[in-house]
């Protein structure tokens, strides 16, 4: 479909939690997406056009990915029901921190 998008539930962090055994942690919370192989693959397939967010612990801490340019989060947030509004603002582009 032209101009279509994918929204994908990409599961959690691959392998054992880095907090459990003290393995290398991401440089920042903005880099935590790099520990998810599905989001890494999507960002390679759609360079510069993948965004991500992490679901709350009560929802499994899964990652969600969205292809396409990051939409205007303010207008998107105002267009969805109130209980979804704040979570819309948690989307971030897949770009490693410098």
Residue 8, burial from CB neighbour count under 10 angstroms (0-12, 13-18, 19+): middle
Confidence of residue 29 (pLDDT cuts 50, 70, 90): low
In which band, very low, low, confident or very high, does the pLDDT at 3 lie, cut at 50, 70 and 90? confident
Average pLDDT, the chain: 81
Q: How far is CA 37 from the centre of its chain?
A: 12
**52-96 residue pLDDT tens:** 999 888 878 899 999 999 889 999 999 999 888 888 999 999 986
Q: Look at residue 23 and tell me whether its pLDDT is greater than 70.
A: no
pTM: 0.75
């Amino acid at each position: 479909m032209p101009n279509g998008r994918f929204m994908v539930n990409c599961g959690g962090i691959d392998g054992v939690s880095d907090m459990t055994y003290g393995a290398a942690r991401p440089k920042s919370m903005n880099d935590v997406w790099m520990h998810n192989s599905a989001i890494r693959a999507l960002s390679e397939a759609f360079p510069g056009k993948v965004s991500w967010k992490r679901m709350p612990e009560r929802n499994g801490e899964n990652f969600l990915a969205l292809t396409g340019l990051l939409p205007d989060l303010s207008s998107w947030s105002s267009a969805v029901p109130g209980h979804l509004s704040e979570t819309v603002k948690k989307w971030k582009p897949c770009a490693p921190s410098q």
